Amino acid sequence: MSSFLGPIHFWLYGKIALQEELTNNIAELAVKNGWITDYEKSNYVFGSLPPLESVIDEENIHTWLQGRIYNAEERYALLVTRVLKESPEYIEQLESVARELGHKNKVKAGATPEEAYKKFDDFFLNGMPCDRVNEQIISDENSYSWKQREDIHKTFWNSAGGNVANYYKLRTTVMEGMLEDSGLTISYSEPMTWKIVKCGE
């Protein structure tokens, strides 16, 4: 491993890979159902991510990773917006894909709310760590609540001509899939605040 790369860089790259997996899964569904052509799919899907150390610009690690994050967010917004312009009702099938990926990355049974949040933080792209997007509100044995200080995703959805509400709908569905069988539930309230609680609390 390069001496320039540390755990945080691989952590971010892993989050990018999960975003790419969701984009690819949605694109495959869209092609299968005839919502987009196979040729169009190539505009949205990056493909398999090579090992980080084989592709990163070690002279400019931060900028390179930020560029990959922006690119992944942009293509995802463009793809979902393109599909939903065919029919807004397709969101339900996209949610099924999102839930399946969440279930594939399940929070372990008996996890605490804070442990579940950590699992979410390891999964979802929220800009760079220095952006400090998420702010903890409550953390105790029965619940964990946090607020997103700014909507860093909205720019990509506006540029795609879409609605960022679809981003959060799919993101929440992934979270719900991750929490299946964990004994925890997730809820959302305005403005951009989420809460994980133990079932029955």
Q: pLDDT-derived band of residue 200, with 50, 70 and 90 as boundaries?
A: low
- Predicted TM-score (pTM) of the model is 0.93
Contacts of 80 (CB under 8 A, 6+ apart): 26, 94, 160, 162, 166, 167, 170
Interval 80-86 mean pLDDT: 97
Query: What are the pLDDT digits (tens) for 98-110?
Result: 999 999 999 999 9
Query: What are the pLDDT digits (tens) for 26-55?
Result: 999 999 999 999 999 999 998 778 888 777
Query: What are the pLDDT digits (tens) for 156-199?
Result: 999 999 999 999 999 999 999 999 999 999 999 888 899 999 98
- Give me the helices (H) in the chain, please: 7-32, 38-44, 52-55, 61-86, 91-104, 113-123, 154-159, 164-179
* Range scoring the smallest mean pLDDT among 19-33, 46-60, 66-80: 46-60
Kindly tell me if the per-residue pLDDT of 1 is higher than 70: no
Query: What are the pLDDT digits (tens) for 128-165?
Result: 888 889 999 999 999 999 999 999 999 999 999 999 99
pLDDT given at position 3 = 47
Interval 64-93 mean pLDDT: 96
Kindly tell me if the per-residue pLDDT of 201 is higher than 70: no
Mean pLDDT score of the chain: 93
Domain ranges of the chain: 7-198
Kindly tell me if the per-residue pLDDT of 2 is higher than 70: no
201: Cα separation from own chain's centroid = 27
Q: In what order do the strands lie in the sheet with 134-139?
A: 134-139, 143-148, 193-198, 184-189
Q: pLDDT-derived band of residue 59, with 50, 70 and 90 as boundaries?
A: confident
Single out the residue of 185, 190, 188 nearest to residue 201, CA to CA: 185
The DSSP call for residue 88 is G
Contacts of 151 (CB under 8 A, 6+ apart): 164, 192
Tokens of 49: 């991510």
